[in-house]
Homo-oligomer: A and B are copies of this chain.
Amino acid sequence: MAEKVTIATVARRARVSRQTVSNVLNAPHIVREETRRRVQEAIDALGYRANQAARQMRTGRSRLIAVRIEPTRDGINGSVLDRFLHGLTETAETAGYRIMLYTATDVDREIVAYDDLLGAYDLDAFVLTGTDHGDPRTAWLAGRGVPFVTFGRPWDAPDAHPWVDVDGAAGTAQATAYLLAAGHRRIAFVGWPAGSGVGDDRRAGWHATLAAAGVDPGGLDRETVDGIAEGGQVARDLLGGAAPPTALVCASDSLALGALQAVRAAEPAVPVIGFDDTPVAAAIGLSSVSQPLGEAAARCVDLLTAVLDGPHRTPDHVLLQPSLVLRHTA
């Protein structure tokens, strides 16, 4: 078993003091070039790696970022988190941070979890996903001065804290515009009940695009909770109405999948476009609006490191554009 190699081991070998080795690592510019090289050689030769625990004890910084991993709800939309997490881990690594996971079943327990994590591990920051109106978590974190970024806009106050989000309205707008260009005029929207930030945003893109084209969306806007069965129900209802739509834009792949089953028999074909570009969409050939999750994750890390490594900045934010992935269904 190899001896434990500490900063003192390196110092002895390079014939300098501990502090100089520390400086080579943390403030290379104050070390003379020749010394720096000598120390670096010793570090490489010994395979030295700074012990995070010791560093953390002195600096109070852990280089750890916490992310909540949610139970796979629907199954379909769960995979979004999966890709986001991978992106986060990858970008964080290159920035010298690591991702730690935690779970929480509800918001209150999540705040308890923050307390635990901060107390025990001195976490540097949190990444929150899926924020909604009046989220108590952001208030708690902000109140404690804990750095965090949300993936998802703070729907109440745009500048409350750093965030990264994907422009959902632009996504549904793209989908709607595509259908308009294909000659459709009666384009329905199968969305979630009004009140959720994300859902309202996606609806707005559809609505605004129709309005801009001078098309009347009257009677083609539907609300239902997320789910395959629900999507099918709403689609059947629309198609059986007095003036049925000739195309459908949906707020999620779950809804789109249900809708797809409902329109299958329709003639001429009724195009359906989903949202999130989940594996299910890819598998069955459903056209869908794709979120740049890897990019979003990278931006989250960027914003955090800016706050952590740099001086205090004003809250910054990033709004990314989604892209329409066309497959068989549109």
Give the interface of A toward B (CB within 8 A): 1, 47, 49-54, 56-57, 62, 64, 69-72, 74-76, 78-79, 81-83, 85-86, 89-90, 93, 98-103, 115-116, 119-122, 144-145, 228, 254, 257, 278-280, 282-284
When the two chains form their complex, are residues B82 and A81 in contact, meaning their CB atoms are under 8 A apart? Answer: yes
When the two chains form their complex, are residues A53 and B56 in contact, meaning their CB atoms are under 8 A apart? Answer: yes
When the two chains form their complex, are residues A121 and B103 in contact, meaning their CB atoms are under 8 A apart? Answer: no
Question: Complex: how many Å from CA A219 to CA B99?
Answer: 49
Chain B residues near A101: list those with CB within 8 A: 85, 89, 98-101
Sorted nearest first, the 6 A-B pairs with minimum C-beta distance are A49-B119, A75-B279, A53-B56, A99-B101, A89-B101, A82-B82
Nearest-neighbor residue (CB-CB) of A293 within chain B: B72
Q: Which of A49, A51, A78, A283 has the most CB of B within 10 A?
A: A283
Nearest-neighbor residue (CB-CB) of A50 within chain B: B120
When the two chains form their complex, are residues B1 and A78 in contact, meaning their CB atoms are under 8 A apart? Answer: no
When the two chains form their complex, are residues A69 and B52 in contact, meaning their CB atoms are under 8 A apart? Answer: no
Would you list 28 pairs from A and B whose C-beta atoms are within 8 A, ordered by A residue? Answer: A49-B116, A49-B120, A51-B57, A51-B119, A51-B122, A52-B53, A53-B54, A53-B62, A53-B121, A64-B100, A69-B89, A72-B79, A72-B83, A72-B279, A75-B278, A75-B283, A76-B279, A78-B79, A78-B82, A79-B279, A82-B82, A90-B103, A93-B103, A98-B102, A99-B100, A99-B101, A100-B101, A280-B280
Nearest-neighbor residue (CB-CB) of A78 within chain B: B82
